[in-house]
């Protein structure tokens, strides 16, 4: 079964399909996401895309930690960062409307994937966090420069530096998500149908808005690569991975 399911249409859907791993993002999943985002972007009939995670327990728990541990050189660490950047930038720079339909865990790289979307609709049980500092690394999927644009500098620092979890109610209050729904996928599809009635104006408007926001990933990239290769980070990540792999 494909790690990312894609359904084409005026409202296309992309679903991360690794429920046994809480839809964690490894190299294969990121490559498949990049491919499906490109397919939707190039499809003239497609006006909007809903991204979700299979299983209902997680939109995505973030980067697969074994994937992070696989980096043994600066080149390999840079490749991990750059692949994730291509995925999120593919969403950000697309003229299509992207909506993240979130249920359960939306953490680390999963939260960063959702942040690249234009809107986020979440179930009441959703949980959001940027836990990377617990593993001795900074976020590497855009949180250090995109989260501030969404919720403000101090709230972004709070989430990133404390690594604390935010529930759906708080996420709505601070502007991290746009709506709460018991059926986030259906709500996201209906929302897309209402918004795309304003096509093609929305395509020009999205390009104008996102094109006017200057996002610089260079500092995040250099710090992520340096930290990921440190002995402290490898020890902390390994210490978390090994007990969980043995379950």
Angstrom CA distances, 106 to 49, 100, 112, stand at: 18, 10, 9
What is residue 241's predicted lDDT score, i.e. its pLDDT?
87
What pLDDT score was predicted for residue 244? 61
> What is the dotted CATH code of the domain comprising 4-184?
3.90.226.10
Residue pair 11/196 in contact (Cβ under 8 Å)? The answer is: yes
Domain ranges of the chain: 4-184
Residue 107: what are its φ and ψ, rounded to 5°? -125, 150
d(Cα 90, Cα 214) in Å, to the nearest integer? 16
Walk along the chain (247 residues) and give the pLDDT tens digit of each residue.
689 999 999 999 999 999 999 999 999 999 999 999 999 999 999 999 999 999 999 999 999 999 999 999 999 999 999 999 999 999 999 999 999 999 999 999 999 999 999 999 999 999 999 999 999 999 999 999 999 999 999 999 999 999 999 999 999 999 999 999 999 999 999 999 999 999 999 999 999 999 999 999 999 999 999 999 999 999 999 999 866 665 5
| Prediction pTM value | 0.96
List the catalytic residues: 112, 132
Task: Please report the pLDDT score of residue 2 as a whole number.
Answer: 87
User: Under a CB-based contact definition with an 8 Å cutoff, are residues 58 and 105 in contact?
Assistant: yes
CB of 124 closer than 8 Å to CB of 182: yes
CA distance 149 to 142: 11
């Amino acid at each position: 079964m494909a790690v990312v399911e894609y359904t084409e249409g005026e409202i296309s859907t992309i679903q991360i399909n690794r429920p046994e791993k809480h839809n964690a993002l490894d190299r294969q999943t990121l490559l498949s996401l990049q491919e499906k985002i490109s397919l939707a972007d190039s499809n003239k009939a497609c006006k909007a895309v809903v991204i979700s995670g299979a299983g209902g327990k997680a939109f995505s728990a973030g980067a697969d930690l074994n994937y992070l541990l696989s980096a043994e050189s600066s080149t390999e660490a840079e490749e991990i960062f750059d692949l994730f950047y291509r995925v999120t930038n593919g969403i950000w720079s697309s003229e299509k409307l992207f909506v993240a339909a979130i249920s359960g865990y939306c953490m680390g790289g999963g939260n960063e994937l959702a942040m690249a979307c234009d809107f986020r609709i979440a179930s009441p049980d959703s949980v959001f966090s940027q836990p990377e500092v617990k593993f001795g690394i900074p976020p590497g999927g855009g949180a250090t420069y995109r989260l501030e644009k969404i919720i403000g500098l101090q709230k972004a620092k709070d989430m990133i530096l404390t690594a604390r979890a935010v529930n759906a109610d708080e996420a709505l209050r601070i502007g991290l998500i746009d709506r709460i729904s018991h059926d986030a996928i259906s709500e996201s599809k209906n929302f897309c149908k209402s918004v795309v009635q304003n096509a093609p104006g929305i395509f020009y408007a999205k390009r104008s808005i996102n094109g006017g926001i200057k996002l610089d990933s260079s500092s995040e990239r250099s710090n992520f690569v340096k930290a990921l290769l440190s002995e402290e980070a490898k020890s902390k990540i390994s210490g978390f991975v090994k007990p969980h792999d043995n379950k």
